[in-house]
Chains A and B, each alone.
Chain A
């Protein structure tokens, strides 16, 4: 499955925000269509969420920004840059 960037996944889930006005526009059929679209977009969003939580997206952005390919050295540089910020973050009770 193609990996989606955060920008692409944002576009994917647009109809979700409007679901608060569930039956306001387009009737039942449109609502069902929106529901199916939402369901289809669920797996890539879930994958993107996990990649963000587990810092894989941050590493991908780092590689893209520095125009590097993944390697031990690149990952070590990424960790060094990110660990200072990460270590300052409290974990909630």
Chain B
């Protein structure tokens, strides 16, 4: 009875918080309403919805041995404590996406993003991660691509493979663009990030020769060195002769990052990739915890209105209506196809009991969703004028500070050039105008929260550069790990054509495939830095579409398996989010390719450029390339949808025997353990 009363109270509190978030107009609200709404929604979703899925749809079996137990080898397959797996899984799924996406979507106001993050996570993202994790556990830890091939068909497997490669290439380009936009003309930020390379190399050598295996100690040491680099960066930025060495334009930074990506892919893992990965994870876990504490301690007021005028599609950050663009801009944090790769990668090989898949799959995604809510808060605590000044490209608001301030003020978000100058000075930057990509706006918001909780205005610049370092380090880790993963995937494929190309240790193959992957994302990155609209306008939606299409593939696999399990009456659990994602991604893709507004449609933008007196052939080519890539992605997913639907109909009509490819049942020896 007490339990019922408590859950009723949680539900009522959540409903009150959601109503406050959704219905408040004209007055600013406290960020804690978002936190309370999120925590209550997650609690109810976890307690009731995930339990329903676990009991009725998946029928988790506490007596069934997992692959970690059956195939235990002390290396890949290791039965691991559920909290440890939870932490491991969360660290693997939490990337820069839940930080950047919500910041960009804040141009619509805080309401659309918040509602999508909450509903998307509870009904979509968490379900996808949980279901794919469980299905992979029941198939000896098979990958999404393998499950697609076995359960849907060969075409499904091929599409899943191509979708993964495409998303990796676009993800790397957009990540690199975010870093370029955060570091251009910023000697402090560039110095700090440049220093993380020798720090990572030093950590690699220290770990290998001085203190073998002491990763936590080495990461802590690396963190101290990074903090010293941030402190030293202030001196660099204030010493003009040194600052010049670290002041780069966007294209120059893009070239440096492309060279870095190639080197990171070709260098030994222990020397750069592994220590940087450890350092990034160390900083990531610490900073996310710190941000949560900062929000709770400060309880800031949201200055952004719940809805802005830009829901009509005329937004300066990126063009497009709130539907569908809010839903592809925020992927990680609501639902992200990329998570299906993690849920069918390392995690299923660590799960000790089948029943723990619920906490790890569903629960870790809820934690990631909370990170997205924190990013929304960080963006919305800024005055809207400041937010738009930072995130609007020069092509929209103008290059001169006075012109930009006048344009933004004319939208109803008052801001003045001296105010922006003072803000830039307080964070140790020359300017904060036109810093598109989300990272600088998030860093200013985070610095605002941190400095008001600890250190005051005196530490604003340090906190800002700490936040920039955190995001850039995070993103560069994704970049070098992603380039290497892409390289392995290409090598696997080319190995079928000519065997030596598939050998991951053969240097000519390493160099050729690294160059291929780096050239692929470098091409999109170059397109982004040369784009007068800032690049994010075209690349982030492309990334969102690719990511959500991968989620579509994952949900097709999940729905197929649920139907084959004889649970068709519960197929709506995955079919619902699938239908929503298809509607969102197909609409967004159509608009990005064919919309007559040149700020939205690639083809109309290309036509507008072609008719201009000084036609830029490169920009026209870029637009057409983006259109072709979008169409290719849509066709691929259309094919997998058709193949899946045919499979469902054949099974449901009895024309095909429903046969799932699960590993045979083996009783667990952990049956006596609770949980």
- Is A6 located at the chain interface by the 8 A CB criterion? yes
Q: Contacts A85-B75, A90-B482 known; A56 to B213 CB distance under 8 Å?
A: yes
Chain B contacts to A: CB under 8 angstroms: 2-3, 6, 47, 51, 74-76, 78-84, 86-88, 91-97, 168, 171, 175, 207-209, 212-216, 219, 269-270, 273-274, 277-278, 281-282, 285, 331-332, 336, 338-339, 341-342, 345-346, 352, 355-356, 359, 477-478, 481-482, 484-485, 488, 504, 543, 547, 670, 673-675
Closest to A15 in B: B674
Q: Let me know if A91 and B674 touch, CB within 8 A.
A: no
Q: Let me know if B485 and A9 touch, CB within 8 A.
A: no
Q: Let me know if B84 and A48 touch, CB within 8 A.
A: yes
Q: Let me know if A85 and B76 touch, CB within 8 A.
A: yes
> With a CB–CB cut-off of 8 A, which chain B residues contact A78?
213
Distance in angstroms between the alpha carbons of A42 and B482 in the assembled complex: 33
Q: Let me know if A16 and B675 touch, CB within 8 A.
A: yes
Interface residue range, chain A: 35 or more
Q: Let me know if A55 and B82 touch, CB within 8 A.
A: no
The smallest C-beta distance from B5 to any residue of chain A, in angstroms, reads 9
Distance in angstroms between the alpha carbons of A73 and B141 in the assembled complex: 31
What are 19 A-B residue pairs whose CB atoms fall within 8 Å in the complex?
Answer: A6-B81, A14-B674, A22-B2, A22-B3, A54-B216, A54-B281, A70-B212, A72-B209, A75-B208, A79-B208, A79-B269, A81-B75, A87-B269, A87-B488, A89-B481, A91-B477, A91-B482, A92-B95, A92-B342
Q: Let me know if B83 and A14 touch, CB within 8 A.
A: no
> With a CB–CB cut-off of 8 A, which chain A residues contact B171?
93
Chain A contacts to B: CB under 8 angstroms: 6-7, 9-18, 20-24, 45, 48-62, 64-65, 70-72, 74-76, 78-79, 81-93
Q: Let me know if B481 and A93 touch, CB within 8 A.
A: no
Q: Let me know if A88 and B488 touch, CB within 8 A.
A: yes
The smallest C-beta distance from A34 to any residue of chain B, in angstroms, reads 11
Distance in angstroms between the alpha carbons of A16 and B674 in the assembled complex: 9
Distance in angstroms between the alpha carbons of A58 and B213 in the assembled complex: 10
Q: B175's contact among A49, A64, A93, by CB below 8 Å, is which?
A: A93
Q: Let me know if A90 and B168 touch, CB within 8 A.
A: yes
Distance in angstroms between the alpha carbons of A62 and B75 in the assembled complex: 7
The smallest C-beta distance from A11 to any residue of chain B, in angstroms, reads 7
Q: Let me know if B74 and A61 touch, CB within 8 A.
A: yes
Q: Let me know if B338 and A21 touch, CB within 8 A.
A: no
Distance in angstroms between the alpha carbons of A15 and B650 in the assembled complex: 45
Q: Contacts A7-B79, A23-B2, A93-B175 known; A75 to B47 CB distance under 8 Å?
A: no
The smallest C-beta distance from B33 to any residue of chain A, in angstroms, reads 26
> With a CB–CB cut-off of 8 A, which chain A residues contact B207?
75
Closest to B164 in A: A90
Q: Of residues A22, A58, A92, which shows the largest number of chain B Cβ atoms within 10 Å of its Cβ?
A: A92
Q: Contacts A70-B212, A79-B208 known; A86 to B2 CB distance under 8 Å?
A: no
Closest to A88 in B: B488
Q: Contacts A11-B673, A13-B83, A45-B81 known; A83 to B274 CB distance under 8 Å?
A: yes
Closest to A28 in B: B2
Distance in angstroms between the alpha carbons of A79 and B209 in the assembled complex: 12
Distance in angstroms between the alpha carbons of A21 and B88 in the assembled complex: 26
Distance in angstroms between the alpha carbons of A27 and B61 in the assembled complex: 28
Q: Let me know if B209 and A13 touch, CB within 8 A.
A: no
Distance in angstroms between the alpha carbons of A11 and B82 in the assembled complex: 10
Q: Contacts A53-B88, A79-B274, A83-B274 known; A10 to B81 CB distance under 8 Å?
A: yes
> With a CB–CB cut-off of 8 A, which chain B residues contact A71?
212
Q: Let me know if B79 and A6 touch, CB within 8 A.
A: yes
Q: Let me know if B352 and A10 touch, CB within 8 A.
A: yes
Q: Let me know if B673 and A10 touch, CB within 8 A.
A: yes
